[in-house]
Amino acid sequence: MAELVREGVELVLRLTTLEKMEGVHGDIHVPLSSVRSISVLDDVIHAVHGLKMPGSRIPGVFAMGTFISGNSVTFAIVHHQNKRGIRVALQNAKYDALIVGSEEPEKLVTSLGF
């Protein structure tokens, strides 16, 4: 499972080898200064919208990769067992948001210090 952690002045989304292959992407590093907000999502899979460019997706089941909707670019890692998760809104970064599935999203937000 992907791991979202705070490392020094960065927020790091660490992906497993399989997630890297499915999401067609390596680990993601974002400066903490780019984080606008973090919110808990109760229906994380339906928060992922847009055209998959590149990645893997079965709508309503899982989403891994880059998704483009209008002018918004999101990177998502949501497994079928994740009903809940978080959305990290970003500014001045490659992505406008990160969406990550989590069994305990409130605990994840607290562990990140937000």
- 25 and 15 in contact (C-beta within 8 Å)? yes
pLDDT at 59: 86
What is the residue range of 13's domain?
3-112
Q: Is the pTM of this model over 0.75?
A: yes
Per DSSP (E only), the strands in 45-106 are 51-58, 62-69, 72-78, 85-90, 97-101
Q: How many domains does the chain have?
A: 1
* Rounded alpha-carbon distances, angstroms, from residue 72 to 18, 90, 91, 108: 25, 11, 11, 24
**What does the mean pLDDT of the chain come to?**
95
Q: Which two tokens stand for residue 106?
A: 């409130």
pLDDT at 68: 97
Most confident of the following: 18-27, 34-43, 49-58? 34-43
Residue scoring higher pLDDT (55 or 90): 90
